[in-house]
């Protein structure tokens, strides 16, 4: 896919403030500093579109960017920043969880994991929460330039092993590096497939988006979103976990 236009669209503190649901969306989530904004810039082909910061916890809003006037990339606040008060942390996380569970035009979530680290409890818990909530996602291991190849492979294998303990079907796994500019083509291909599936689904059933929103707010396991590239990876039990 060629990206001919990439523009900042809107910032929103929560789902209720998110603008129209007319375009398919792709959201980036992961720990603070994992490289969400950097990857968004690489995918959009526009450096500086999303603000990259060395200070963890910089993005506290849902930031939306429109690509080719037809689909959106969404930069979500990171989880796990240390210097934000506990109460604020819960509030941000709640807003993000609400967006992830109830945004009807959310096609696919890119869950970012730092490839230079062994499996982290917070990432494992978050991925389990995504699966429990039937939110379609793929895993993207970031910063592959930071560690040597065998360490990256070992960390990915260890993470896959941990989630295979409860996951029915392993999610798709990608790698990227904003420094080496690696991973863009593969992620754009996934987006391409998911957009086609989204349009096929909404054409077949124009009310689908509304119905899905309603269903998933009542029962997170009932979400029917994300046909195509991403699929959900539920365990068949309803989550009580908060992250
Ligand atoms: N070595 C390396 N550093 C990266 C990469 N991606 C991001 N960073 C750095 O990691 C820090 C956090 O990046 P940012 O994109 O703001 O992360 P976010 O908090 O998840 O949005 C910044 O200092 C980036 O320059 C990468 O692929 N490789
Ligand atoms: Mg960021």
33-58 pLDDT tens trace: 999 999 999 999 999 999 887 766 55
pLDDT over 60 (residue 215): no
Which is more confident, 59 or 11? 11
232 located within any domain = no
The count of domains in the chain is 1
Residue 62 lies in domain: 6-220
Q: Residue 216's domain is classified under what CATH number?
A: 3.40.50.300
Mean pLDDT of 64-71: 96
Could you tell me how many residues make up the chain? Answer: 243
80-91 pLDDT tens trace: 654 455 555 555
- Compute the mean pLDDT over every residue in the chain, rounded to the nearest whole number: 83
Ligand 1: distance of its center to the CA of 158 in Å? 22
231 located within any domain = no
Whether residue 34 has its Cβ less than 6 Å from ligand 1: yes
From 29, 33, 140, the mutation candidate for ligand 1 (largest count of ligand atoms within 8 A of CB) is 33
Burial of residue 172 (number of CB atoms within 10 Å: 0-12, 13-18, 19+): middle
88 located within any domain = yes
147 located within any domain = yes
The answer to whether residues 65 and 73 touch, using CB atoms and an 8 Å cutoff, is yes
The reported pLDDT for the residue numbered 202 is 85
Whether residue 180 has its Cβ less than 6 Å from ligand 1: no
The reported pLDDT for the residue numbered 51 is 87
Ligand 1: distance of its center to the CA of 36 in Å? 7
From 49, 178, 187, the mutation candidate for ligand 1 (largest count of ligand atoms within 8 A of CB) is 178
Mean pLDDT of 188-214: 79
234 located within any domain = no
Q: Map the chain to HEC letters.
A: CCCCCEEEEEEECCHHHCCCCCCCEEEEEEECCCCHHHHHHHHHCCCCCCCCCCCCCCCCCEEEEEECCCEEEEECCCECCCCCCHHHHHHHHHHHHHHHHHCCCEEEEEEEEECCCCCCHHHHHHHHHHHHCCCCEEEEEECCCCCCHHHHHHHHHHHHHHHHCCCCCCCCEEECECCCCECHHHHHHHHHHHHHHHHHHHHHCCCHHHHHHHHHHHCHHHCCCCCCCCCCCCCCCCCCCCC
The residue contributing the CA closest to ligand 1 atom 8 is 35
233 located within any domain = no
Which is more confident, 54 or 97? 97
226 located within any domain = no
Distance CA 25, CA 95 (A): 17
What's the pTM?
0.86
Ligand 2: distance of its center to the CA of 111 in Å? 13
177 located within any domain = yes
Ligand 2: distance of its center to the CA of 202 in Å? 31
């Amino acid at each position: 896919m060629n990206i001919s236009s990439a523009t900042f669209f809107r910032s929103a503190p929560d789902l209720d403030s998110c603008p129209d649901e007319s375009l398919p969306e792709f959201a980036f989530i992961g720990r603070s500093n994992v490289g969400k904004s950097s990857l968004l810039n690489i995918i959009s082909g526009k450096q500086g579109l999303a603000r990259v910061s060395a200070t963890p916890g910089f993005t506290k809003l849902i930031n939306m960017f429109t690509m080719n006037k037809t689909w959106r990339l969404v930069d979500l606040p990171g989880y796990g920043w240390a210097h934000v008060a506990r109460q604020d942390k819960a509030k941000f996380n709640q807003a993000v969880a609400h967006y992830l569970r109830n945004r009807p035009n959310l096609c696919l979530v890119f869950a970012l994991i730092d490839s230079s680290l062994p499996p982290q409890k917070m990432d494992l818990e978050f991925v389990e929460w995504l699966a429990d909530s039937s939110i379609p996602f793929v895993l993207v291991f970031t910063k592959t330039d930071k560690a040597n190849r065998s360490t990256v492979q070992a960390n990915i294998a260890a993470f896959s092993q941990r989630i295979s303990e409860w996951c029915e079907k392993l999610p798709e796994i990608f790698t990227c590096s904003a420094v080496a500019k690696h991973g863009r083509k593969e992620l754009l291909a996934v987006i391409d497939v998911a957009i086609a599936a989204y349009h096929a689904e909404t054409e077949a059933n124009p009310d689908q988006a509304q119905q899905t929103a309603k269903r998933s707010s009542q029962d997170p396991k009932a979400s029917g979103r994300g046909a195509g590239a991403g699929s959900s990876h539920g365990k068949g039990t309803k989550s009580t976990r908060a992250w």
